[in-house]
Structure 1
């Protein structure tokens, strides 16, 4: 009979526990500061300029200024003087023809006793004696446009990192055992 020795071996077992690494990146939103200056519109409206000229109406009512009255009297007297000369010329011609009927001294000079009217010192009456002139004044406008100011401040990213870890341990020790055969020994 042969004797066989049994060898039993258990291998060594190594255990590895790993935890994965973690990388976290967060970035807060940028801080914005927005300021707005509103637009502005200013409008100034002025009253219209109105001119009323009543000098012609005053001249028609009262004769106007002293100078205007004097000018009308002077031009009126000049006309009366010219009319008087023309009348005397006509009377002289009639007297030269005294032999014709109707040219007697009484008939030629008989109507001279009436008073000659004084020249008109007042201006002519008219609906247009009062002149009204209206000049509109354009409005003044000032405009300031709106402004927007934007100020941005970026925030840096926040990075957190947990490294990976590896734990190595021995799960089972190696062993070697020899098992001898059973011997039947009888003595």
Structure 2
């Protein structure tokens, strides 16, 4: 009895993958950084100076009133004019305009738009045509051959016994 191998016909269609991408976009805005260095937009610097002028004027008026109160206190027996002259040499940095922006670690704005990716997949296909071949059987009626390839037997091998005492 024997059976020939099956006949197989395989047709494949390969899968197809298409990927389309657009470039990502990186934008860096350093206007706040330049403004903190004093190299920012001119109009913003003027606006800062303008908005602090009222406060500086009020501080100057308060300083004049304080100086007048010191000079009016004749009963303290101190030299008010000399004290004010010494103090005026130290007041050079009292009234400064801050026209620069705030210094910060977050002065540079970085924005990134990732790329868009379009993926199209066409699946592949496998077509199989299998033809099974029938077994080929040849026999002769009335003929029977029975035989044994090995006769049944059991062999027992005992372990060695150590007789040394």
Q: TM-score range, shorter-chain basis?
A: 0.5 to 0.7
C-alpha RMSD of matched pairs (Å)? 3.4
How many residues are aligned here?
118
- Please tell me whether residue 99 in structure 1 is matched to residue 79 in structure 2: no
Distance 1:103 1:137 in 2: 76
More strand by share: 1
Q: Under a length normalisation based on structure 1, what TM-score does the superposition of the two structures give?
A: 0.48
Distance 2:21 2:39 in 1: 40
Gaps of 5+ in 2: 1-8, 129-165
Is the alpha carbon distance of 1:43 and 1:110 closer, same or farther for their aligned partners in structure 2, counting shifts above 3 Å?
same
Gaps of 5+ in 1: 1-31, 151-187
Q: Deviations over 1:112-138 (max 9, x none)?
A: 476565413222444432232333234
The structure 1 residue matched to 2:107, chosen from 129, 140, 159, is 129
Q: Under a length normalisation based on structure 2, what TM-score does the superposition of the two structures give?
A: 0.53
More helix by share: 2
Distance 2:116 2:18 in 1: 14
The structure 2 residue matched to 1:47, chosen from 4, 10, 23, is 23
Which entry has the higher C-alpha Rg, 1 or 2? 1
